[in-house]
């Protein structure tokens, strides 16, 4: 989808009640969400960054995609989606956020290990607030 087509598509969605739209075609992915900036995921190329020293941990904050109430599990009698020490992969459900009686899944977009859970179950969260710290350093590098 070229930028002009995307712009026209966004204009046509503006006056509808569609809240989210996801499109995948080959290596190109488009995810649109009202209130957010459109994100076009391009195929990832090899990183040009130099390798980090093996003794350094690479902790990446995972931030809330929206305002609402964060929950670690579906309900009180279900186990949490993740706990500290769990390994996660892109697309894995790691929590849910409720806003105005609407439940949205919180899914990981990175691979790593949950180093810290930064919010409590049932806690109100803001857009961009840290929910988790993810250790993205591969296991084979750790000693």
Residues contacting residue 34 through CB under 8 Å, at least 6 positions apart:
13, 18, 19, 20
Tell me if 21 is assigned to some domain: yes
Q: What pLDDT score was predicted for residue 137?
A: 81
Q: Which domain does 113 fall in, by range?
A: 59-138
The verdict on 67 and 35 lying in the same domain is no
Q: What pLDDT score was predicted for residue 57?
A: 60
The structure tokens 């350093």 sit at 137
Q: Whole-model pTM above 0.75? A: no
Tell me if 115 is assigned to some domain: yes
Q: What pLDDT score was predicted for residue 69?
A: 94
Residues of the chain with pLDDT under 50: 36-55
Q: Rg of the Cα trace of the chain?
A: 17
The two tokens of residue 108 are 């990981």
Residues 34 and 64: their CA atoms lie apart, in Å, by 15
Tell me if 16 is assigned to some domain: yes
Q: What pLDDT score was predicted for residue 96?
A: 94
Domains of the chain: total:
2
Q: What pLDDT score was predicted for residue 8?
A: 74
Q: What pLDDT score was predicted for residue 58?
A: 85
Q: What pLDDT score was predicted for residue 32?
A: 67
Residues contacting residue 63 through CB under 8 Å, at least 6 positions apart:
128, 129, 130, 131
Q: What pLDDT score was predicted for residue 54?
A: 45
Tell me if 51 is assigned to some domain: no
Q: What pLDDT score was predicted for residue 136?
A: 87
Strand, helix or coil for residue 140: helix
């Amino acid at each position: 989808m070229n930028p002009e087509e995307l712009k026209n598509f966004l204009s046509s969605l503006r006056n509808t009640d569609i809240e989210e739209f996801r499109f995948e075609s080959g290596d190109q992915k488009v995810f649109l969400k009202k209130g957010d900036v459109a994100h076009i995921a391009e195929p990832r190329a090899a990183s040009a960054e130099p390798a980090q020293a093996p003794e350094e941990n690479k902790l990446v904050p995972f931030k809330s995609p929206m305002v609402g109430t964060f929950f670690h599990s579906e309900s009180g009698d279900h186990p949490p989606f993740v706990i500290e020490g769990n390994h996660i992969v892109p697309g894995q459900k790691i929590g849910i956020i409720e806003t105005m009686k609407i439940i949205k899944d919180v899914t990981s977009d990175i691979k790593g290990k949950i180093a810290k859970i930064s919010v409590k179950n049932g806690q109100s969260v803001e857009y961009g607030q840290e929910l988790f710290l993810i250790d993205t350093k591969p296991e084979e590098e750790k000693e």
